[in-house]
Structures are given as structure tokens and as C-alpha cells.
Structure 1
Amino acid sequence: MKTKVALITGGYTGEAEVSFKSSAFVYSQIDKEKYDVYTINLGLDSWFYTDEQGVKYEIDRQDFSLNLNEKINFDVAFIIIHGTPGEDGRLQGYFDMIGLPYTTCSALTSALTMNKGYTKAIIQDIPNLNVAQSVLLFEEHRPAAADLVKEKLALPLFVKPNAGGSSIGMSKVKTWEELPEALNNAYDAENTGKQVLVEEFVTGREFSQGIYRNAKGELQVLPATEVKTTREFFDFEAKYTPGLTEEITPADLTAAQKDLADQLIQEIYIRLNCKGMVRVDFFIENNTDKFFFIEINTVPGQTAQSFIPQQVRASGRKESDFYGELIEAALLGK
């Protein structure tokens, strides 16, 4: 009997459109000889499955089952929701309570890593890993936010929602006059918790690198991707507009840089108690070769052009085998 997989997409934020594209690619790659895959759309108003005729069927939230001609109980949830509720621990906590295995990090790790400021506090003492100087602002700080930033940080700056994704609400600030608007954009980004992280800019090369645990429980580090963009930084437009960014996979790193990157990525994964696939973004600072942590993404994009699929192919793997490994690892509790 085939394993029944709930491929979960959508979500409650502007990142839903990206989730739809990611889940469509994952669906196209999963081995249908081994897995029965049902794409489940989670929206604020409804959780549902749509059949080939376009008929919608509601999910029974008591046990996350689906009633078609018969009741379908899923064996595993493959979560491809960027943002809430699939990346911030809410959905993971629900699945924990009903006993359904899933392919992502735990509820605690997902909630922690959605908060960029809290994540930095956990990993900042890893040897040879650096974090940029930063200020974490809450809603109560908003009236005096600009003054608090000026007291502690130097230009240029990155301003971003502390719990957002896809670079939504993110700005690069080069003058103090630009700071108030950038803070407002970050504070007002949809469903990001009214918290803002402001960081000093690091001048260097930008990289993104995936890692996952296979069904044997072994950590597998994927080749890094270097990101070169014509934009001021790797913002939403740079991520999703063809031609604005050059992505080089595998990245052109020296043997020493590659070894250190692999080591640091593994230590970050372990320190944050990650599961499934995650992606870590980092800088290598110009002139010093120091590694600076940017952020971790526990539900990274999965379109054909996304970093993780690029890195899977560069490692000599097939996406179908890779997604199968994630499913089997989740079923085994790895």
C-alpha cells in the first residue's frame, strides 16, 4: 500500500503565492509509484483539497482527515507553507497533538527560528561564526525606534520584520533620513508580529546553503549557492524576478572556505535542533573571510529555480529521491 502524503500549501500571508509554486514543483517530483499525494490548501477561511474536477473537499480538523469516497487518513504531512502557520510552529504543534508526522522542524524550533533576533541569540557563540551588530525592536519601541537605532548602530543598515520571510518589508538604509520609512515598512509587514530587526550592513559575498537529515539519521550538507544581484540587496524582486540575480551553484569557494561553511552549517542545524531540510544564508566578509550568519529558513522555497533544488541537482541527486528521503525520515522520526 502506498504512503499517503498530505502536501500542504497556501498559508495566511503574502508568501502564499510562493508556497503554491513550491508545492506544485514538489508534487511534480514526488514518486507517485511510492506515494499517494494530496495537495491540501490552508487558508484563513478554509482547509481543503481540490480534486481533478475542481470540487473542493474540506479537511476534518479533528484528525486532519479527508472524506472522498472513503475516509483518508494521512501517513505524513509534507509542509510547504512559507510563513504562518506552516513555518512558525503553529501547524507543527497541531500535528504533534493529533500524532501526524511531518517533514519540517519541530514546533519549538520552527517558532524560534521564525524570530530572527532570538535565533541569533542562540547561535552567536558558535566558534568561527559571526553575527552582525543589531537592535531588536518591539511595538512598544516604535515611537522612539529611530533614536534607539542611532544610539547603537552605524550606517548602512538592514531593516526587516523580525518574523517575516521572502524579504517582504525589508529595506537597506544608507542615510538616517531613510530610517523612519524603513522602520514603518518593517513594522507594518503583514502577519510578522510588529517586531523589527535592524542590523549593521556586512560588506561581502552572499551565500545560501541547504542541509537535511536523511532516513538513516545522517546530516547531508548540500553545495552552497553564491547570490549576486543587480539590486541593492537580495530583496523580494531580486528573489522572484528573472534576470535580476545570478545564482552560482556550486559556489566558487576555496577548500578551506567550503570546509568551514559545511562545519558551521552542521553546527547551526544541531544547535537549533533542526529536522528535515533547512537553508542557512550567510556572508563571507570582504578582506577578512569571516563568516556572518544572516538567517535560517526552515521551509525553503522549492520551485525548480530555488536554491535547494539547484543544490540537490549539483550534488548529483534527483529531486524525486531527495523528497522521498525527507518523507521517509519524517516517518521514522529522524
Structure 2
Amino acid sequence: MPSHQNPRLSSALTRWLAAALAATSLICVSGPAYARVAPKPAPAREDPAKGMTMKDAAIIAMATPNAPETDLSLAAQTLRVGLKEIKGMRAQSPQLWAMFEQALGAALVRLSVSKSGTAELEEAVSAYRAALEYWTRKRNPERWAEVQADLGAAFGKLGERKDGVAAFRDSVLAYVEALKEITREKNPVEYGRVTNNAANSLLAFADRTRETAPLKWAQTQFNLGDAYFVFGKRTVDPAKLQQSLAAFNEALKEFSHEREPMMWAAVQNGMGLVYREMGDKAIDHREAVTRLADAVADFRRALEVFTPEAAPHDHETVAKNLAQAEGQLALRRKMAGM
């Protein structure tokens, strides 16, 4: 295994997450998908209750961030009724129909903030899925990715309101689809927003799967630790290194020496890499000595399992990590006068 990271990134989702985290932070989760559209003033109406066109409703749903609940509710109802009325015209105007389905989804997600239960969110999921029947990746990759991100957000909110293992899983899968077109090169801001939201859904998914699939949960924690380490090293961010250690410690709750010795050793190596990086970047020599001593101890523990016979490749890699940490430790002790 390369010395800069840990082995055994298991699933497609967690492999993707490791790469995504190396490019963006998990600290903040940006607002809902409708915020992407430049704000426009709500259409002027003397009395909203007297009627609203579907165009007005779509503008309120997708381009009016501070619309009151009454307007959002009326917009949703207008779009519901309108979609039923133009159902027969779907074959003639599929693009218009898909746009209104997406707008309905946006209105319902926003409306759900002030509601209890899951009715609005479940209806929003259906609306977004309907929109994707027309907005395919081949037909319009940018709009397809946008609706996939909207769907991911709706599933994420749905997961927060009920036993959300399946909803959080579907949220992550939708975000992963969106990221096939929303790339860092094409749109770095949107890429960061979607990646942040996807990572939070994955964290929530992992948290809810511990009871039913503890080893998969631990694997996700392990992969998060590795991803935080890579990100913290590249950005010289001590906070991310601390988050890496926290994730590795979570993984050890299921990856015990007795139950999963190979993964236990992989976590020890991962923690050693983090401590070695902390020691290398420490300005105070005594602090560096403490961190590097921790790294040496972790690497030695890993080698208790990664023997030349049991895991020759891992043994070679961790032995190199240990030798480097021991060299750094000796130098810092000398500089600290110890």
C-alpha cells in the first residue's frame, strides 16, 4: 500500500468520498438547491389567492429564496393542478412538463421546512423522479445533474425525518450521479456544495447502519479517517487531522484486534500516519516528540499483525513508515535537547 494512505477502501461510495474530501471541506452544508438560481423578485400580485400561473409558481419555487410559506403552498398547489391539466400534452411538450415537475419538487422541499412528517418530501421525490424521465444525461447533462442533486437533497431531508437508512443511501447515490457532470473543473462552487451535502448524507447513512451492519459502518469510518488525513495533509489543516483521528477511533469500536486483526492493524497504521504528519508540522520540538512517539507506537502495533508471513506488502509499507517516524523522532529529540 502507498505510504501516504491506508489500504482497503472498500466500496464505490467510500472510494468516491475519499477523493471528494481531498478537494473540499465537510465543515459547512450549503443551502437548498433552489439557491443556485439567481434570486428574482416575486411576481407582483395584488391578491395571491386569486390565482397564480404555473410560470409564477415556478419562479416562486426556484428563484425566490425568501418567499413566504403561503406563497410556497399556493405555488405547490398551482403546479399540482397545472400538471394534471397538461398531462395529456406531455408528449407534445415534455420539456415544459419536466420543468414544472422540477419546480414542484423545489416548492415541496422548501415547504417541508415548516411542516412535520414526510408527505411533502415524498411527493418532492416523486416530482424529481418524474422530471428525470425527460431530463436524461444524454439529452441535457447539466439539467440532469441539477435534478439529481435536487433529488439527493430531498432524500437527505427525508432521511432526517424517519428511519433513514434507505433514504440516506438513495441521497448519496443521487449525489454521486450528479457529480458525474458537476465536476470541480466545470463548476468548483457547485461541486463543493454537492460534495459537502453528499458527504453529510454518507455520514448519516453510516451512523444509521452501525446497528444493522457494524463492519460496514466501521469501514466507512476508516475511509473517512483516511480521507480526512489526505485532505489535512494537502491543505496543512490541523483540524482535519484531528477529525481523521476521531474517525479512526470510531472505526476501532468495531475493528478490534480480536475480531478484525487486519483492519485493526490498518487503523493503527492510519493513526500513525496522522501522528507523524502532526509531528512533522509541529513548530515546538517537544510537541513534535510527543506526536512522533505516538506515531512510532502505532506503527509498531500495526506490525504485530502485518508480519512478513501474514501480509508481506503491508509489512514492507508500515516498516518504511516506522523507519521514517523513528528518524524524525530522533532528530526532534536532539533539537529539543532530550
TM norm structure 2: 0.27
Higher relative contact order (CA 8 A, sep 6+): 1
User: Larger helix proportion, structure 1 or 2?
Assistant: 2
Return the index of the structure with the highest Cα Rg. 2
User: Larger strand proportion, structure 1 or 2?
Assistant: 1
